């Protein structure tokens, strides 16, 4: 089995109980570890992440330890950087053993081709976001932010994330329709030029979507692990979205 998860936004200041939220993800990893051949984390697992040269961000000890345990068990874990955890440099690879991707990739799983990406930056019409993304990905931005003391830098990052999240909460969990949903439009266009891709799997939009497009290709948006609590499963034949049951009230994401 290959499992897919995105948009947990661990550490978000909009989470009521951040410790319980982290435990939910650790418990999920515990449940899937017996039959998981690979786990693909498709971005924004952390609400903010910046690695200083000698400092690892506070928190997430249970999750990072669990990921290390599963890697040691022989499970391949792929980590795609999202727009919230773009400043992941070498820690995940060197200390935990994750396979880190900083751009979309096409991989083959059991004879099926998957286009995998967090999804940020793929909207051809969002020029403002593309410019901001380019700035954040620049080495100059890394160096400048690295000069800020870690305690202050962490607060700046989480507060920036919270303010931006509050601005767009009304857009999340609302499907815009096949012709307006940017990731669906992107997948359709890409599929025309690359007909060998069977599945397009994204995060970023916080909506659970499994849509069949032309020539039986499928576009999947994974939902999230802060309000929808959904994830993807590929059994070697088919892909399906599943949901976590029994989410405690004190973990629910503020809307």
pLDDT tens digits, one per residue of 118-155: 998 777 666 555 565 666 666 776 676 666 776 776 77
**∠ Cα 6 7 10 (to 5°):** 120
pLDDT at 255: 45
pLDDT at 126: 62
Q: Once rounded to an integer, what is the mean pLDDT over residues 81-88? A: 80
Pick the CATH number of 2-251 from 3.20.20.140, 3.60.21.10, 3.40.50.10140, 3.60.20.10: 3.60.21.10
Of the listed ranges 3-12, 141-150, 212-221, the least confidently predicted one is: 141-150
166: pLDDT confidence band, cut at 50, 70 and 90? Answer: low
252: pLDDT confidence band, cut at 50, 70 and 90? Answer: low
Q: Once rounded to an integer, what is the mean pLDDT over residues 93-98? A: 92
Q: What percentage of residues in the chain have a pLDDT greater than 70? A: 79
pLDDT at 78: 97
Check if the beta carbon of residue 223 is closer than 8 Å to that of residue 215.
no
| Better-scored residue on pLDDT, 232 or 141 | 232
84: pLDDT confidence band, cut at 50, 70 and 90? Answer: confident
The 3-state DSSP class for residue 134 equals helix
Q: DSSP state, 25?
A: H
The model's pLDDT over 181-216, given as tens digits with 9 standing for 90+, comes to 999 999 999 999 999 999 999 999 999 999 999 989
Check if the beta carbon of residue 81 is closer than 8 Å to that of residue 157.
no
pLDDT at 242: 96
d(CA 137, CA 102): 10
Which of 172, 175, 183 lies closest to 218, judged by CA?
183
Residue 66 phi/psi, 5-degree rounding, is -65, -40
pLDDT at 165: 67
The model's pLDDT over 25-56, given as tens digits with 9 standing for 90+, comes to 999 999 999 999 999 999 999 988 777 777 77
Which of 56, 62, 101, 59 lies closest to 82, judged by CA?
101
The full DSSP string for 152-197 is HHHHHHHHHHHHHHHHHGGGTT----TTT-HHHHHHHHHHHH-TT-
pLDDT at 211: 95
pLDDT at 59: 81
């Amino acid at each position: 089995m290959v499992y897919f998860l995105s948009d947990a936004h661990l550490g978000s200041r909009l989470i009521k109980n951040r410790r319980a939220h982290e435990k939910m993800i650790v418990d999920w990893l515990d449940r899937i570890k017996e039959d998981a051949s690979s786990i693909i984390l498709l971005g924004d697992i952390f609400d903010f992440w910046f690695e200083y040269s000698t400092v690892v961000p506070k928190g997430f000890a249970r999750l990072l330890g669990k990921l290390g345990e599963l890697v040691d068990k022989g499970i391949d874990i792929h980590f795609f950087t999202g727009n919230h955890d773009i400043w992941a440099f070498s820690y995940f690879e060197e200390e935990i053993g994750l396979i880190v991707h900083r751009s979309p990739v096409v991989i083959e799983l059991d004879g099926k081709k998957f286009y995998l990406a967090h999804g940020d930056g793929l909207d051809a019409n969002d020029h403002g976001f593309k410019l901001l993304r380019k700035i954040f990905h620049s080495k100059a931005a890394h160096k400048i932010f690295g000069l800020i003391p870690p305690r202050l830098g962490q607060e700046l990052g989480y507060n920036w994330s919270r303010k931006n999240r509050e601005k767009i909460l009304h857009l999340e969990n609302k499907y815009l329709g096949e012709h307006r949903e940017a990731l669906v439009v992107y997948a359709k266009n890409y599929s025309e030029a690359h007909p060998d891709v069977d599945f397009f799997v994204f995060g970023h939009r916080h909506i659970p979507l499994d849509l069949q497009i032309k020539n039986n290709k499928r576009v999947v948006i994974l939902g999230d692990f802060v309000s929808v609590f959904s994830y993807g499963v590929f059994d070697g034949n088919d892909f399906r979205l599943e949901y976590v049951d029994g989410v405690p009230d004190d973990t629910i994401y503020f809307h």
